[in-house]
Amino acid sequence: MGNFIVSARKYRPTTFLEVVGQSSITATLTNAILDNHLAQSFLFCGPRGVGKTTCARILAKTINCQNISKKVEPCDKCESCTSFNESHSFNIHELDAASNNSVDDIRNLVDQVRFAPQVGDYNIYIIDEVHMLSASAFNAFLKTLEEPPSHAIFILATTEKHKIIPTILSRCQIFDFMRIGMDDIVNHLVFVAEKEGIKVEQDALHIIAQKSDGSLRDALSIFDRLASFSDGITYKSVIDNLNILDHDYYFKITTSILQQDISKVLLIFNEIINNGFDGHHFINGLASHFRDLLVSQDKETLVLLEKGESLKEQYLTQSQMSQQSFLLKALDICNSCDVQYKTSKNQLLLVELTLMKLCSLTHSESKKKTNSINLPKQETKQEKEVENSIMELKKEEVNRKNVVEKPIEKNNADNVNAKNKTAQLISISDLEEEEQEKEEKTTEKRNEELKKEDLQEVWKEYIVLQKEKGKANFATTLDMNEPNLLSDFKIEVLISNKSQEVVIEKEKIDLHEFLRNKLQNDFIEITTKIQEKTAEERVPYTNKDKYEQMAKENTNLKNLKEKLGLDFDF
């Protein structure tokens, strides 16, 4: 029995034309070889299994080929090509940075760079997983990478570009490899299946392509596994082998949701759980299903639906049954369930509640439509409000003493209207009188005589009250500065500095109210005035004042402040 070679190695591209899904990069490298504009250091970065190392090997093989074709393909006949194909080329050196990441490994590589190639024009050094190099190894590699010999070319490959230091990135020509598209993966799998003589279903290949997440190597590995599982690769064999939730479940459950059949929806979900699938996986899959239905509703966005032909028809059919507003709300509900799933204590109940909400979503929308037809109810509400206001006016009319009742005939509609008008006029006039009375009451301000003794007593009482409230700073400021009674009920407070003025201004309204109520005088006004004092008389209040006073008493304090570079808060 011969040795089995996995498809990823057996069908590995040997020319730039065979590379799958990286046309822009292969075209750039091909033109660079034709025009002889090759850089001396390349950096190939991108996700796993997209062709970074493959392109590095093809580039290394092509530039050393002695008989390159017009299509920039190696001849596979010269000494350089044959030695490369037989894996004993002395010009192409591959280093795995994951296992050779020390400074000594890089120094050995740098020592080899000095020697000229034995065959061909270049010595090519391919360093895979270059992000695994240590910081010291990167630094040891910098000078050689910046000024390599003319016969040396470095090709670095990595899946994690962000881990490479900027000094390395600036010395390389960077190529960003993309994830391979679904169609490209499916077409390559069809090519491999034809070569191997394996029968495949198109929908099955689409599932493999989805599962590979843009990695062709992963797709070929799954392909080999499924080929060993059965004679042919069918949609059912892929679903069973990869433990994937079948699309039929999502179609069934969506149909039941649209029919508002909660019991059937819960039974389908129970069947899914019994088959061993996770509720979180199911709700994410349902959200993706709603997204695909939304995409299927517009011809322009139909390109985003990466499914097989038979599945596309099913999506188109069900998308016509679903309204866009329903799908958008359903996506929002599924998204909130996804966010809450990990923190939920009863995850199964959370998913079931989400499904019930989805079922009631269509029911609530139909209710809104029926309710929107019953518009005349708004008019009856307005009429009731008018009737209530009329009744209130009538009650006010009876209660007021200065309302003169006039004989009105009950059966005369004109007289009824006149009565309503007079009631309104009387009520308006009464309201005006009430407002005038209120104004007169407010103008009658208290005007008791002020005495200095009373003021000082109330002032001390207020200080005690502020201390109880926890406003110690404000209470201390009032206690340090006694009030002076001036003419016209003005009270002047002499303060020492601007900080005290700010403290009093914050609580001035409360102080006014307290003094006016206690002393029965609404004309009391408090003013503050900063008292000019000499340097000796000034009371230290701020940190700066305290420091200056202490510095006068002890001159060494200033020297200490300057030596230690100290400062104080203002």
Question: Quick check: is 541 in a domain?
Answer: no
Question: Quick check: is 262 in a domain?
Answer: yes
Q: How many CB atoms lie within 10 A of CB 235?
A: 21
pLDDT class for 526, splitting at 50, 70, 90? Answer: confident
From 66, 69, 117, 108, select the one nearest 89 (Cα to Cα): 117
Secondary structure of residue 460 in the 3-state scheme: helix
pLDDT class for 377, splitting at 50, 70, 90? Answer: very low
Q: Residue 73 belongs to a domain with what CATH number?
A: 3.40.50.300
pTM of the model: 0.55
pLDDT class for 2, splitting at 50, 70, 90? Answer: low
CA dihedral angle for residue 86, residue 89, residue 95, residue 96, rounded to 10 degrees: 0
Question: Quick check: is 263 in a domain?
Answer: yes
pLDDT class for 1, splitting at 50, 70, 90? Answer: very low
Q: How far apart are CA 527 and CA 515, in angstroms?
A: 13
pLDDT number for residue 430: 55
* Pair 166, 100 in one domain: yes
pLDDT class for 434, splitting at 50, 70, 90? Answer: low
Question: Quick check: is 535 in a domain?
Answer: no
* Pair 162, 129 in one domain: yes
* Pair 461, 518 in one domain: yes
pLDDT surpasses 50 at 217 = yes
Secondary structure of residue 128 in the 3-state scheme: strand
Q: Note the pLDDT tens digit of each residue in 488-512.
A: 778 888 877 777 777 788 787 888 8
Most confident of 360-374, 451-465, 528-542: 451-465
The DSSP annotation for 251-287 comes to HHHHHHHHTT-HHHHHHHHHHHHHTT--HHHHHHHHH
DSSP-assigned beta bridge partners for residue 447: 521
pLDDT surpasses 80 at 466 = yes
Q: Residues 84-105: what's their mean pLDDT?
A: 82
pLDDT class for 365, splitting at 50, 70, 90? Answer: low
Q: How far apart are CA 135 and CA 95, in angstroms?
A: 17
Query: Which tokens go with 372?
Result: 């929107």
DSSP-assigned beta bridge partners for residue 152: 123
Q: 336-343: list long-range contacts, CB under 8 Å, 24+ apart.
A: 337/283, 338/280, 338/283, 338/284, 338/287, 341/279, 341/280, 341/283, 342/280
Q: Which residue has 């997440």 as its token pair?
A: 213
* Pair 141, 198 in one domain: no
Q: Residues 84-106: what's their mean pLDDT?
A: 82
The DSSP annotation for 179-212 comes to PPPHHHHHHHHHHHHHHHT--B-HHHHHHHHHHH
Q: Residue 210 belongs to a domain with what CATH number?
A: 1.10.8.60
Q: Residues 87-113: what's their mean pLDDT?
A: 83
Which residues have C-beta within 8 Å of that of residue 80, sequence separation ≥ 6? 61, 64, 65, 66, 89, 91, 119, 120
pLDDT class for 424, splitting at 50, 70, 90? Answer: very low
* Pair 12, 160 in one domain: yes
* Pair 71, 200 in one domain: no
pLDDT number for residue 364: 53
Q: Residues 520-546: what's their mean pLDDT?
A: 70
pLDDT number for residue 387: 58
Q: How far apart are CA 239 and CA 124, in angstroms?
A: 44
Secondary structure of residue 542 in the 3-state scheme: coil
Q: Note the pLDDT tens digit of each residue in 177-205.
A: 988 888 888 889 898 888 888 888 888 88
Q: Residues 314-326: what's their mean pLDDT?
A: 86
Burial of 71 (0-12, 13-18, 19+ CB in 10 A): exposed
pLDDT surpasses 60 at 216 = yes
Q: Residue 365 belongs to a domain with what CATH number?
A: 1.20.272.10
Q: How far apart are CA 430 and CA 435, in angstroms?
A: 9
Query: Which tokens go with 358?
Result: 């989805």
Q: Residues 36-40: what's their mean pLDDT?
A: 85
The residue with greater pLDDT, 216 or 417, is 216
Question: Quick check: is 557 in a domain?
Answer: no
| Nearest-5° Cα angle at 409, 405 to 414 | 100
* Pair 57, 160 in one domain: yes
* Pair 311, 419 in one domain: no
* Domain range enclosing 252: 247-369
Question: Quick check: is 303 in a domain?
Answer: yes
pLDDT number for residue 472: 79
pLDDT surpasses 60 at 61 = yes
Q: Note the pLDDT tens digit of each residue in 278-295.
A: 889 889 989 999 998 888
Sign of the torsion formed by the C-alpha atoms of 319, 321, 324 and 330: negative
Secondary structure of residue 494 in the 3-state scheme: strand
Tell me the pLDDT of the chain averaged across its residues: 78
* Pair 264, 202 in one domain: no
Q: Residues 374-384: what's their mean pLDDT?
A: 46
* Pair 351, 427 in one domain: no
Query: Residue 483 gets which letter from DSSP?
Result: E
* Pair 196, 304 in one domain: no
pLDDT number for residue 353: 92
Q: Which residue has 């004309």 as its token pair?
A: 523
pLDDT surpasses 70 at 385 = no
pLDDT number for residue 372: 45
Q: Residues 125-130: what's their mean pLDDT?
A: 88
Question: Quick check: is 491 in a domain?
Answer: yes
- Residues across the chain: 570
Question: Quick check: is 138 in a domain?
Answer: yes
pLDDT number for residue 397: 55
How many domains is the chain built from? 5
pLDDT number for residue 374: 43
The residue with greater pLDDT, 388 or 316, is 316
Q: Report yes or no: 92 and 126 within 8 Å, Cβ to Cβ.
A: yes
pLDDT surpasses 50 at 111 = yes
The DSSP annotation for 139-186 comes to HHHHHHHHS--TTEEEEEEES-GGGS-HHHHTTSEEEEPPPPPHHHHH
pLDDT surpasses 70 at 373 = no
Q: Residue 512 belongs to a domain with what CATH number?
A: 3.30.300
Q: Residues 16-21: what's their mean pLDDT?
A: 87
Q: Report yes or no: 16 and 31 within 8 Å, Cβ to Cβ.
A: no
Burial of 299 (0-12, 13-18, 19+ CB in 10 A): exposed
* Pair 507, 419 in one domain: no
